[in-house]
Amino acid sequence: MASLKELKNRIGSVKNTQKITKAMQMVAAAKLRKAQEAAEASRPYSDRLNSIIINLANSMSDTAGGPELLVGNGKSDTVLLVVATADRGLCGGFNTNIVRKAREEIVALERAGKTVKLYLIGKKGYDQLNRLYGDQIVEYVSLKEERSLHAGIAQGIGEKITAMFEAGEYDVCKLIYSQFVNVMQQDAVSNTLIPAMAALGVEDETPGEHAADDVFAPDLNGAIYTYEPDEAGILRVLLPRNINTQIFSALLENQAGEMGSKMTAMDNATRNAGDMIDKLTMTFNRTRQAQITSELIEIISGAEAL
């Protein structure tokens, strides 16, 4: 049995840990609100940009002749997985869930005979995937030194990914990240970035066939739009921007999810620390009472011997 001094020191140590987890929970809660607002604010812009691309693609007379970022290069032999995780831990299963999703994608693709390459964003994802797939990592980006997320980060990543596609280093690109639902739920998802036609569900059909279902249909009022330059020319400009937007939106979703998961994890840690303090305090009191009782018995026994 531990001595009273050891128990007292352990209680003090757990109390100090509880103070740290409580402080981390409060910091995460403060950051969560701002991160959640940023993630939610990015969704309408991302969805609207997707809608514009869908409208442009549907209005093209021949989507097969569109930009390769839209229709692909006709192959799917090599797949680039862009896996976005956090740079810091202590956020429950947040990073593990994203890595698990990435591993499932890798296993499924390799079983289908595809070559998989990894573009990793975030130290935690790199640490876990590097153990099994180190030779498949083509790029690693850490955001630890960045004071805050901004569009320039996503633009740099997007330009690199686009350049790799244009250089023929891969055929299909998928983005894996955690979509923020609420504080208690963050879902790891996999979205196709390139080709955009597969990502947006655009099909090569007669222009205007989906006008009734089109997001912009209520704004047309029966008018027919002509584009200058043509649809393909506009798409060549919008598609790289859409890739940057989707990456930036994913990073914002990750940031909100990380803060939500960290707040929950630190709250659980604080509660567990409180339970441990109660148990240790009870053990301390019982041990002290047993020691006092033992000393009293010795005193009484000594007095009776006299």
3-state secondary structure the chain: CCCHHHHHHHHHHHHHHHHHHHHHHHHHHHHHHHHHHHHHHHHHHHHHHHHHHHHHHHHCCCHHHCCHHHHCCCCCCEEEEEEECCCCCCCCCHHHHHHHHHHHHHHHHHHCCCEEEEEEECHHHHHHHHHHHHHHEEEEECCCCCCCCCHHHHHHHHHHHHHHHHCCCCCEEEEEEEEEEECCEEEEEEEEEECHHHHHCCCCCCCCCCCCCCCCHHHHCCCCCCCCCCHHHHHHHHHHHHHHHHHHHHHHHHHHHHHHHHHHHHHHHHHHHHHHHHHHHHHHHHHHHHHHHHHHHHHHHHHHHC
pLDDT of residue 206: 37
pLDDT of residue 291: 81
Say if residue 275's pLDDT is above 60: yes
Which active-site residues does the annotation give?
Answer: 91
Q: Please state, in angstroms and rounded to a whole number, the distance separating the CA atoms of residues 179 and 182.
A: 9
Say if residue 294's pLDDT is above 90: no
200 pLDDT band, cuts 50/70/90, is low
- Residue ranges of the domains in the chain? 43-257
Say if residue 260's pLDDT is above 60: yes
Alpha carbon 283 to chain centroid, angstroms: 42
- Between 61 and 181, whose confidence is greater? 181
pLDDT of residue 81: 94
pLDDT of residue 61: 66
Q: Please state, in angstroms and rounded to a whole number, the distance separating the CA atoms of residues 199 and 79.
A: 14
CATH fold of the domain at 43-257: Pyruvate Kinase; Chain: A, domain 1 (3.40.1380)
Instruction: Please tell me the pTM assigned to this model.
Output: 0.81
- Per-residue model confidence as pLDDT tens digits over 21-64: 999 999 999 999 899 999 988 888 888 888 888 887 777 766 66
pLDDT of residue 212: 35
Say if residue 222's pLDDT is above 60: no
- Per-residue model confidence as pLDDT tens digits over 125-176: 999 999 889 999 999 998 887 777 888 898 999 999 999 998 999 999 999 9
pLDDT of residue 210: 39
